[in-house]
Chains A and B, each alone.
Chain A
Amino acid sequence: GEDVEQSLFLSVREGDSSVINCTYTDSSSTYLYWYKQEPGAGLQLLTYIFSNMDMKQDQRLTVLLNKKDKHLSLRIADTQTGDSAIYFCAEMNYGGSQGNLIFGKGTKLSVKP
Chain B
Amino acid sequence: KAGVTQTPRYLIKTRGQQVTLSCSPISGHRSVSWYQQTPGQGLQFLFEYFSETQRNKGNFPGRFSGRQFSNSRSEMNVSTLELGDSALYLCASSLGIAEETQYFGPGTRLLVL
Contacts and interface: CB of A to CB of B under 8 A. Distances in A.
A98 B57 CA distance: 6
Contact of B44 (A43, A44, A47, A103): A103
B59 A100 contact: yes
Interface in A82-113: 88, 90, 92, 98-106
B102 interface: yes
Given A43-B90, A45-B102, A106-B43, A101 B107 contact: no
Main secondary structure of the interface of A (DSSP, over half): strand
Given A45-B101, A98-B57, A103 B107 contact: no
B104 A31 contact: no
Interface size class of B (residues with CB under 8 A): 20 to 34
A43 to B, nearest CB: 5
Interface size class of A (residues with CB under 8 A): 20 to 34
A39 interface: no
Main secondary structure of the interface of B (DSSP, over half): strand
B105 interface: yes
Given A42-B106, A43-B104, A100 B58 contact: yes
B108 to A, nearest CB: 12
Nearest to B43: A103
Given A43-B90, A44-B104, A47-B100, A98 B54 contact: yes
* 7 residue pairs, one from A and one from B, having the closest CB atoms: A101-B45, A99-B56, A45-B102, A103-B43, A43-B104, A42-B104, A98-B57
